[in-house]
Amino acid sequence: MTQLHPTLWRTCRALSGVVRLKLLHLIFAHPGQNVTQLAECAGIGVSDASQELRRLQSRGLLRRSRQGPSVVFEPVPDPQVPTAAPLLKALQLALANGGAGIELVARIAKGLAAERRIALVRALRHGPQTSGQLALAAGRTAHSNLQKHVAVLKGGGWIAQEGRAFVLPPPRHPLTATLLPWL
């Protein structure tokens, strides 16, 4: 298995958190709110909200600034993270309808939140693969682990099964369409 730059799977791991996505949705809806306001709207503590927002900021998806004594967040991509702007745009589209969008985005992101699952999707970009071929692509992972990875990928809509082979379906979600070319 080839070594991956950790950015993609780490970003997806950050985006697989429902609370982080809820906070991001709130920021899209009302940019410039302070941490206390966001925490209250999300139904979590200020410390937890602050920590979750820093995780999103570390992936280049938010700009943090001070307004008097408050820290506010805005959905402004970090110019030093080239993938942040298109990812933020896809997330804004995906989270526009709130709750259902949040759950789906979390499942899609979870699909790519591990190097082995990224390797599986990359293998499927070359065409249908059997379980044995996928096991090789994932670095000869144990059969039970392969099944777990496949289940997560299926849950996020990354792969489908056609007979005895697995395939990569066409992207039908803005987040999937944005992430797929980066694989």
> Domains in the chain, start-ordered, CATH in brackets?
7-106 (1.10.10.10), 114-182 (1.10.10.10)
Confidence class of residue 2 from pLDDT cuts 50, 70 and 90? very low
* pLDDT higher than 70, residue 152: yes
Query: Would the CA dihedral through 77, 83, 85, 89 be positive or negative?
Result: negative
Average pLDDT over residues 153-169: 96
Query: Which residues touch 110 (CB under 8 Å, ≥6 apart)?
Result: 12, 16, 152, 155, 156
Average pLDDT over residues 93-115: 91
Higher pLDDT, 126 or 4: 126
Average pLDDT over residues 113-142: 88
* pLDDT higher than 80, residue 4: no
* pLDDT higher than 90, residue 84: yes
Task: Report pLDDT for 142.
Answer: 67
